[in-house]
Amino acid sequence: MTERFSQVVRQQADAIWESQHSHPFVRGLGTAELPLPCFQYWLVQDYRFLIDYARLLGLGIARASDLATMTQFAELTRTILSVEMTLHRSYAAQFGISTSQLESTPKSPATQAYTDFLIRTATCADFGELVAALLPCMWGFSEIGQRLAQQPAVPNNPYADWIRTYADPEFAQLAQWCCGLFDRLASEAGESGRLRMAEAFLTSSRLEWWFWDAAWKLETWPI
Alpha carbon distances (Å) from 17 to 11, 67, 157, 190: 9, 32, 24, 26
Query: What single-letter DSSP state applies at residue 80?
Result: I
Alpha carbon distances (Å) from 141 to 50, 147, 196, 203: 14, 10, 23, 16
Separation of alpha carbons 22 and 69, rounded Å: 34
**Active site members:** 208
Task: Give the H/E segment covering residue 50.
Answer: helix 36-63
Contact 121, 200 (CB under 8 A): yes
Give SS3 for 99: helix
Phi-psi region of 107 (alpha: psi -120 to 50; beta: other; left: phi over 0): beta
Of 116, 113, 94, nearest to 206 by C-alpha is: 113
